[in-house]
Chains A and B, each alone.
Chain A
Amino acid sequence: MTTAIDPVVAYAVEGPRPGLKDHLRDWIPRLVLAPSFALVLIFVYGFNLWTLLISFTNSKAFANFNFIGWGNYAKLWTWTFETDPPSNWYTALVNMVIFGGLYVIFCLVLGLALAILLDQKIRGEGILRPLYLYPLALSFIVTGTAWKLFLDPRIGLEKAVHDLGWTSFHFDWVVNPRMMIYCVAIAGIWQTSGFVMAMFLAALRGIDGEILKAAQIDGASAYATYRRIIIPMMRPVFMSALIILTHMAIKSYDLVLSVTGKNPGGAAELPSTFMYSYTFTRNQMAVGSASAIIMLMTIAAIMVPYLYSELREKH
């Protein structure tokens, strides 16, 4: 980007005699930013560090500073392979892969499909588009409450289909511990796919019409145009969406609890709920901290390169 003219420098050049007042003036911007930056330094970086420290202690219900080294991480590592009976951590990781995978893939596919369809000069787009997007305005707790009712076999979808005459229809996933996590994914996809649609649609609208015209003149079919020109051009948005979705999947917490109704028996455990229950109800704060640090590191591994590249491109 072109260099922004720095008013501080500009002023220093204009004013011949910099005095105390000018020095103060130079510092005002930094003083204004300082409280916010200090808050972030303490509450984000300081606290992350603090959690990291706790993860190396044997803290139970309360934090202490008896350091035991990598013990908690070793515990989580052992639990990762404890499949019979599955440890909570193993369940959390498996569910993370199932939920995360379904959530990311379906949001991307649905989002792209809806965006492409909406981009076909649709009459009534102004009515349709908001309908795909409104779930985003809802709290995950509301979404979870709605889907819990919708999928409840006693009063929801299964019953409604039975009333239609298809009495052998069976859909009890939301109360079946082994299938609950799929219902969480369904609710999550419902909530977020519209957002991905909006991202893709904005990207589609940003594509230069000339290129498409040229393709048309060359006799490319609509399918070929999308397959060979438009979709490859959307790679940056695709990457953004992928990263945002992955990070949202890892952070998912409210949705699991509300869809499953307090995550009965830990059946729909995710790392986020694992951390919470180990820290605040099972009195194993150090193990909870270690799992939180693992979540943080995973997200950092995804977000830091992304943010770095985004910042670098522009300036």
Chain B
Amino acid sequence: MTAAADALVAGRSREPARHSMTTRVIIYGVLVLFAIVYLLPLVVMVMTSLKPLDEVTGGNMFYFPHDLTFEPWKKAWGTTCVGLTCEGIKGYVWNSVRMVVPAVLISTLLGALNGYVLTKWRFPGHKLVFGMMLFACFIPFQSVLIPMAMILGKLGALGQTLIDATGFSWGFGNPTVNLVLVHVVYGLGFTTLFFRNYYETFPTELVKAAQIDGASFFQIFRRILLPNSAPIFIVTVIYQFTNIWNDFLFGSTFAAGDSSPMTVALYNIVNTSTGVIEYNVNMAAAIIAAAPTLVVYILAGRYFVRGLMAGAVKG
């Protein structure tokens, strides 16, 4: 995994390809053309979000804003209507943050421990266990939605009972807690896969030596593996962060109304059937929704790519 991704990042290990001038111009032309095509939707989004509405509906989407305005951004953030409440998307961003942070941390930590066990403390049947966890990554989530909804409903009822009995729900039935649970469960396969493949290449001799010196299971993990795991932690955290932040299916199914995450709120803003379609506000909201993952991509692109590759090809 890392070798391939590093080769991708580092590049040029082979002899230079020799092409005529014309060929080179064509190659560059095609590559730049595609880069423009890939960039256009984002550029149009940004420009649209900076125009007043009449300029969007009356003008050309490829023109630069004539009357540059930040009003759509202010409106998207603070006052646009999501469903019946008109307080902008700021609350939903916060919902997403509260969901993403614990879900990413828990699933990553569990993945690290699982990977450690599955490579350095193998037991009979470890391959089957890993295979079953791996397949869990790829199931269509439609096939677990109904039971999940039923179980979460039961947890909600339990929370209500606890409120009656103790005055506090202890987190049962809280939509954010529910989504954290869901994302941890369905993210475990990937995090385990990442750490397993990473620890696979970690010298077992070191673990064995520490063992003979009397180090315990957790001591070995903390003192020997963890200090050497920074890259895979970054990869996993980024992968999980992107996936969970961008999730829509679970968010829209299990967290309705004010407790929904950002993607669901954006979808509701864009697809509202009442009033004038405020394209500029919609685009501002979309950029705000995309910003966290885009920033991560810009800052840590190579780890992002590594995660993607690791999620697809194991080798």
Q: Is B89 interfacial (CB-CB < 8 Å)?
A: no
CB-defined contacts of B118 to chain A, threshold 8 Å: 33
Q: Is A117 interfacial (CB-CB < 8 Å)?
A: yes
Q: Determine if B263 and A43 form an interchain contact, defined as CB atoms under 8 angstroms apart.
A: no
From A39, A247, A271, A300, residue with most partner B Cβ within 10 Å:
A39
Q: Determine if B132 and A279 form an interchain contact, defined as CB atoms under 8 angstroms apart.
A: no
Question: Which of B2-10, B159-167, B227-235 sits within the interface?
Answer: B2-10
**Closest residue to B270 on the A side, CB-wise?**
A145
**Closest residue to A187 on the B side, CB-wise?**
B41
CB < 8 Å neighbour of B7 from A47, A117, A142, A206: A206
From B16, B113, B246, B296, residue with most partner A Cβ within 10 Å:
B246
- Closest chain-A Cβ to B188's Cβ sits at a distance in Å of 5
- Closest chain-B Cβ to A236's Cβ sits at a distance in Å of 8
CB < 8 Å neighbour of A146 from B45, B116, B253: B45
Within the assembled complex, what's the spacing in Å between the Cα atoms of A175 and B188?
Answer: 39
Q: Determine if A295 and B208 form an interchain contact, defined as CB atoms under 8 angstroms apart.
A: no
CB-defined contacts of B136 to chain A, threshold 8 Å: 40, 44-45
Chain A 277-310 interface 0/1 with B at a Cβ cutoff of 8 Å (1 = within): 0011000010011011101100110011001101
Q: Is A258 interfacial (CB-CB < 8 Å)?
A: yes
Q: With A48-B144, A122-B31, A155-B56 given, is the CB distance from A201 to B8 under 8 Å?
A: yes
Q: Determine if A149 and B44 form an interchain contact, defined as CB atoms under 8 angstroms apart.
A: yes
CB-defined contacts of A207 to chain B, threshold 8 Å: 14
Q: Determine if B279 and A51 form an interchain contact, defined as CB atoms under 8 angstroms apart.
A: no
Task: List B residues 185-223 near A (Cβ within 8 Å).
Answer: 185-186, 188-189, 192, 204-205, 207-208, 211-212, 216-218
- Closest chain-A Cβ to B300's Cβ sits at a distance in Å of 10
**Closest residue to A274 on the B side, CB-wise?**
B142
**Closest residue to B308 on the A side, CB-wise?**
A195
Within the assembled complex, what's the spacing in Å between the Cα atoms of A140 and B245?
Answer: 11
Q: Is B84 interfacial (CB-CB < 8 Å)?
A: no
Q: With A155-B279, A311-B130 given, is the CB distance from A253 to B249 under 8 Å?
A: yes
**Closest residue to A258 on the B side, CB-wise?**
B267
CB-defined contacts of B148 to chain A, threshold 8 Å: 43, 47
CB-defined contacts of A114 to chain B, threshold 8 Å: 31, 34
Q: Determine if A146 and B146 form an interchain contact, defined as CB atoms under 8 angstroms apart.
A: no
Interface residues on A, range: 35 or more
Within the assembled complex, what's the spacing in Å between the Cα atoms of A159 and B266?
Answer: 25
Question: Which of B66-74, B97-105, B119-127, B172-180 sits within the interface?
Answer: B119-127
CB-defined contacts of B21 to chain A, threshold 8 Å: none
CB-defined contacts of A160 to chain B, threshold 8 Å: 60-62
CB < 8 Å neighbour of A134 from B123, B263, B297: B297
Interface residues on B, range: 35 or more
**Closest residue to A35 on the B side, CB-wise?**
B110
Q: With A137-B294, A154-B57, A209-B13 given, is the CB distance from A33 to B147 under 8 Å?
A: no
CB-defined contacts of A45 to chain B, threshold 8 Å: 132, 136
CB-defined contacts of A41 to chain B, threshold 8 Å: 132
Task: List A residues 232-251 near B (Cβ within 8 Å).
Answer: 237, 240-241, 244, 247, 250-251
Q: Determine if B114 and A33 form an interchain contact, defined as CB atoms under 8 angstroms apart.
A: yes
- Closest chain-A Cβ to B261's Cβ sits at a distance in Å of 10
- Closest chain-A Cβ to B283's Cβ sits at a distance in Å of 7
CB < 8 Å neighbour of A7 from B121, B130, B308: B121
Q: Is A218 interfacial (CB-CB < 8 Å)?
A: no
- Closest chain-A Cβ to B58's Cβ sits at a distance in Å of 9
Within the assembled complex, what's the spacing in Å between the Cα atoms of A299 and B139?
Answer: 7
CB < 8 Å neighbour of B249 from A44, A143, A254: A254
Q: Determine if B207 and A7 form an interchain contact, defined as CB atoms under 8 angstroms apart.
A: yes
CB-defined contacts of B192 to chain A, threshold 8 Å: 36
Q: Determine if B31 and A117 form an interchain contact, defined as CB atoms under 8 angstroms apart.
A: yes
Within the assembled complex, what's the spacing in Å between the Cα atoms of A301 and B195?
Answer: 26
Q: With A40-B136, A125-B11 given, is the CB distance from A254 to B248 under 8 Å?
A: yes
Chain B 274-285 interface 0/1 with A at a Cβ cutoff of 8 Å (1 = within): 000001001100
Within the assembled complex, what's the spacing in Å between the Cα atoms of A7 and B28?
Answer: 54
Within the assembled complex, what's the spacing in Å between the Cα atoms of A91 and B96?
Answer: 34
* 22 pairs of residues in contact across A and B, judged by CB atoms under 8 Å: A4-B119, A10-B211, A33-B113, A33-B117, A35-B110, A40-B132, A43-B186, A44-B136, A47-B148, A114-B34, A122-B27, A133-B305, A138-B293, A139-B248, A147-B41, A149-B61, A190-B37, A206-B7, A275-B142, A303-B135, A304-B135, A311-B131
Residues of A in contact with B (beta carbons under 8 Å apart): 4-8, 10-11, 14, 25, 28-30, 32-33, 35-37, 39-41, 43-48, 50-51, 54, 63, 110, 114, 117-122, 125, 128, 130-143, 145-150, 154-157, 159-160, 163, 190, 194-195, 198-199, 201-203, 205-207, 209, 212-213, 216, 222, 237, 240-241, 244, 247, 250-251, 253-254, 257-258, 261-262, 271-272, 275-276, 279-280, 285, 288-289, 291-293, 295-296, 299-300, 303-304, 307-308, 310-311, 313-315
Besides A40-B132, A160-B61, 6 new A-B residue pairs in contact (Cβ under 8 A), listed by A number: A29-B117, A110-B34, A142-B289, A150-B41, A251-B141, A307-B138
